[in-house]
Structure 1
Amino acid sequence: MTQLTISIVSHNSKADLELLMPSLIKSLNNINHEILHVDNSSSDGTWDFMQQNYPGVLSYQNSRCFGYGTNHNHNLRRANGKYIVFMNSDMIIMPDTFEKLFVFMEENEDVGLCSANVLNTDGTMQYLYKRYPTILDLSLRRFAPGFITRMFRKRLDQYEMRDDAYHSVVDVPFISGCFMFCRTDLIRQVSGFDERFFLYFEDVDLCRKVQNHARTVSFPEAVVVHRWERMAHKKARWFYIFVLSAFKYFNKWGYQFY
């Protein structure tokens, strides 16, 4: 049986994949695995790069752009692994990351979804473990000027679970979709990602569905690097998608203001 399915979605991310793939292959040396890749209508040569350099990867090319969850659901339907990892293309994987996560999940059958600590390229922490979002927390993070966020620093630190989630295994309400290590059967049981979310909030929505059946936890012993870019702050289109997804999320799960 295939132990692990890696699900990667990319859009004009050839440069990211050039860095990701060598680290990914190296980290999978001791695990029976498959790699599934969706090229989300790229125009930068991503498809040719993957076909020429990684013919063993099962790649699929979209003729137009689909949402993040929709593309991962495509890979979920064809996955053979006991576990599936949903991940971004802008990652770098440490050599022992998957082996550590696999052993942890084998030893903790009550856990349905977990993640590694995620670092910036300079080694600093990305605080991606979070409690459930509230309208106040999202507003502070997205709209508030610096002096306001400093006034609410303690609250935002609590939202980002800076007290304990990055040092020990704890239950985490909201795990980032940039890197999720999951039980495949359970993700299928909850019907995967909700495809009404094009981008943003599909990850916390999935976590909440999983939590009806199993735990979602941090696993700080494993580490990955995320070469991220905060799109929602840079382009009006991504900001609009963020707000629209937030609206869909609160309509689905209820409005929590603070």
Structure 2
Amino acid sequence: MTVAGPRGPGISVIIVSYNVREILDACLQSVYHAAARFSGTVEVIVFDNESRDGTVSLLKPRWPEATWISSDRNLGFGSGCNRGAAVATQPLLLFLNPDTLMREDTLQVMWDFFRSHADAGVAGCKIVNRDGSLQLACKRSFPSPRVAAFKLIGLGSLFPKSRVFGRYNLTYLDENTTHEVDAVSGSFLCISSELFREIGGFDEDFFMYGEDLDLCFRAKLLGKRNYYHPITQVIHFKGESAKSRPLGSFLDFHAAMVIFSKKHLELRALPLILLNAGVAILALAKFISSRFQKWPRWFADLLIVNLVLGVVAYVYVHAKGHTLFSFIEPSVYVFWNVLTSLAVVLPLAYAGEYGSGPARPRKVFLSVGISFLAVFSLSFFMKEHAYSRVVFAISSVLSAALLTSWRLAGSHGGRFWRKVVGGVKRVVILGTAARARTLAALIQNETLEGYECVGFIHFPAGPVPQEVRANVIGDLETLPTLARKLDLQAVIIALDEGTYPAALRVLAAHGAGSLEIKMLVGDPEPGKNSLIDLNFRN
């Protein structure tokens, strides 16, 4: 189905979704706002890759204008794009990630660009991160052993303006000027439907990542020119789809680079091995760093688990009339402490407990209990090295209780305590309309856990609704002062969709000090909303 503008040729917007219902809702809002200002026809096609979060059942009635295609299994990004393109009817295709928000002029700008550049193969716009900074992947060169090596060892970061070392992401090019490039990002990729079909679409050997590079490479082989066109831009909340399969997404990235290298780079065995090894190391390093962002939290967990094991073992051994290391071999004691520490911390890290999100005490309690149970069970198979199952049993109960209490205490502690444990955050809500008031009620009723609402920040300018007049504590100009005086940790943007761009520009321009900036997407109802971290910090 189509929408917007006088009848005539236009753009088919193809979105492949996977368990991103809330941000997809916001993405569609931004697409239809842009469609309303577009001079031609806009066709929106959503291909859902077996989402299990109610994406189709909840959003299809909300957006009946779109064409919805559901898959009974996850086919990957490229396959989903191909199936969406197969039913597209417009001359220009835009492949758009579901975790993006476009400006109101985006569709028109890209349409005008293709009409004025007959040699264009693939084109992308400027893509910015949550904080407004450039997302480097929106303009790239094709990977080679040398380019990958400079990226891996950090020379690209040290010398971004160098045409030699900065080639991976073409950081030496002006980000605000249109350039011919090797490749653009698949999160926002425009191509004519005629060329897309001539190329044969995306290579479905790529499950996720790399298919955009491959498509751009094949377009250039046909004599076309690929462009980076920053006259318009989109915000990309990178990695929303990957959250539901964190390790799998990193493995997919490595596999994609291997496929691309074998397909397009005429490499001998040793360079190919070195390239693949470098990509694997880079992917693994990124995955590990994403799992251990909150170092005070995992350090505290390790400290508590080892203290509990030590104290319980000491008391138990002395109750039997022995000293600790006359009863237990030091190497055995160290082995089981290390094993137990890893059994507790690694599952929590994989689940994202040490990431950027708030602490989740219930998940911690359950995970710690299961970890100790696993270690306890293992001790039955290593009787000659297991010093006491009583120690494990008592330590499991105490550790689960203490690690959970450590997080729960954040809701009642002071500024330092909350910063360390990541407990309940004191927040203000940007906005005073019905959407903001409903969100405040969810927080007040503890339907939305992890937050304490202090009041409202009035935006945009205009009369303050009578219902919240008593709870409005200031505006954006006074926000930095309020943050210090009221010990605020976060601002939640809860505006009508049309005012989001203005709010984002104001926050990016003025900054918010140490405050976290979050944005409400979806309806402010239980199970139908999500808070996205924008990370606007100085």
TM-score by length of 2: 0.45
Picking from 225, 231, 237, the partner of 1:221 is: 231
CA contact (8 A) 1:169 1:217 kept: yes
C-alpha distance 94-175 of structure 1, shift in aligned 2 (>3 A) = same
- Describe the shift of the 1:156–1:35 C-alpha distance in structure 2 as closer, same or farther (beyond 3 A): farther
CA distance in 2, matches of 1:237, 1:171: 33
Q: In the alignment, which of 154, 165, 169 is matched to residue 178 of structure 2?
A: 169
Deviation string 1:197-253 (CA, Å, 9 cap, x unpaired) is 111111010001111231110111011110112859x93322222222211111110
1:11-90 map, 5 Å: 11-29=18-36, 30=38, 31-90=40-99
In structure 1, stretches of 5+ residues that fail to align are: none
From 246, 249, 252, the counterpart of 1:238: 249
Please state how far the C-alpha of 1:12 moved relative to its aligned partner.
Answer: 0.4
Pairing of 1:133-152 with structure 2 (within 5 A)? 133-138=143-148, 141=151
Structure with bigger gyration radius: 2
The separation in 2 between residues aligned to 1:151 and 1:25, in whole angstroms, is 41
Structure 1 letter corresponding to 2:17: S
* CA distance in structure 2 between the partners assigned to 1:236 and 1:80 by the alignment: 37
SS at structure 2 position matched to 1:84 = strand
Indicate the SS of the match to 1:38.
strand
Q: Distance in 2 between matches of 1:14 and 1:150?
A: 35
Closer/same/farther in 2, CA of residues 58 and 159 from structure 1, 3 Å limit: same
Residues 160-210 of structure 1: CA deviation (Å, up to 9, x unaligned): 112225222211102110100111100100001001111111101000111
Q: Distance in 1 between matches of 2:145 and 2:12?
A: 35
Greater share of strand: 1
* Superimposed CA distance per residue, residues 82-121 of structure 1 (whole angstroms, 9 cap, x where no aligned partner): 1000110000010001101101110111112111000112
Answering whether residue 257 of structure 2 is matched by residue 250 of structure 1, we say: no
CA distance in 2 between counterparts of 1:35 and 1:236 reads: 31
Please list every run of 5 or more consecutive structure 2 residues that lacks an aligned counterpart in the other structure. 1-7, 276-538
**Aligned-partner Cα distance in 2 for 1:165–1:196:** 34
**Aligned to 2:142, which of 126, 129, 132?**
132
User: 1:12, 1:181 → 2: CA distance?
Assistant: 24
Instruction: Name the structure, 1 or 2, with higher relative contact order (CA <8 Å, separation 6+).
Output: 1
Q: Which has the higher helix share?
A: 2
User: Greater shift after overlay, 65-74 or 243-252?
Assistant: 243-252
Distance in 1, Cα, partners of 2:111 & 2:150: 36
Asked whether 1:3 is paired with 2:3, we answer no
Query: Are the equivalent residues in 2 in contact too, given 1:134–1:255 (CA < 8 A)?
Result: no
RMSD, aligned CA: 2.3
Contact in 1 for aligned 2:75/2:207 (Cα 8 Å): yes
Separation of aligned partners in 2, 1:82 and 1:150: 39
Q: 1:121 and 2:156 equivalent?
A: no
Residue type matched to 2:248 in 1? R
CA distance in structure 2 between the partners assigned to 1:135 and 1:56 by the alignment: 46
Distance in 2, matches of 1:19 and 1:156, equals 37
Q: Report the CA distance shift for 1:169/1:149 in structure 2 as closer, same or farther (over 3 A).
A: closer
Count of residues in Structure 1 that have an aligned counterpart in Structure 2: 254
Q: Distance in 1 between matches of 2:157 and 2:124?
A: 28
Report deviation, 1:33: 1.3
Q: In 2, distance between residues paired with 1:2 and 1:76?
A: 16
